[in-house]
Amino acid sequence: MAYIELKNMEFFAHHGVFEQERQIGGRFTVDLKIKLDLMAAASSDRLEDTLNYAAVFDMVKEEMSVPSKLIENVAGRILARLSKDFPTVEDAKIRLAKINPPVNGVVAEAAVELSLNDAGL
């Protein structure tokens, strides 16, 4: 089996428990590791035989634009949509991080990690 990874995708989005976070917005990063069969693409050199990561990025961007209170919810939505829109995906792991979360101290990021198969999506 093989993987396609999209790392450090950056977005400005409006996620957060506090109303102010959803109004003002903040910075987020997303990493995706997608498991699928890439053997046909390895020999054919045809986009149709692989996962179009530009299309995956656009899907993540769309989901990031929908405000949520919890980054867990956003991550789950992205995995569910990935599974629905790209049926060749066998499994995927997402890491979604909120940069400089609003806490009483210095925290570079708060992040969640979910797996498509673990989430039962």
Q: Is 69 a catalytic residue?
A: no
What integer is the mean pLDDT of 13-21? 92
> How far, in Å, CA of 74 to CA of 113, rounded?
11
- Binned at pLDDT 50, 70 and 90, residue 117 comes out as confident
Report the pLDDT value the prediction gives residue 103, as an integer from 0 to 100.
86
13, 17, 20, 22 alpha-carbon torsion, rounded to 10°: 30
Catalytic residue among 69, 84, 93, 98: 98
Read out DSSP for 5-23? EEEEEEEEE---SSHHHHH
pLDDT for the residue 102: 86
Rounded mean pLDDT, 107-120:
90
Q: Is 85 left (phi over 0), alpha (psi -120 to 50) or beta?
A: alpha
Residue 55: both structure tokens together? 């299309």
CA distance 15 to 92: 22
| Residue in 6, 20, 108, 15 with CA at minimum distance from that of residue 52 | 6
- 23-60 per-position pLDDT tens digit: 999 999 999 999 999 999 999 999 999 999 999 999 99
Q: Which CATH class is domain 2-119?
A: alpha beta
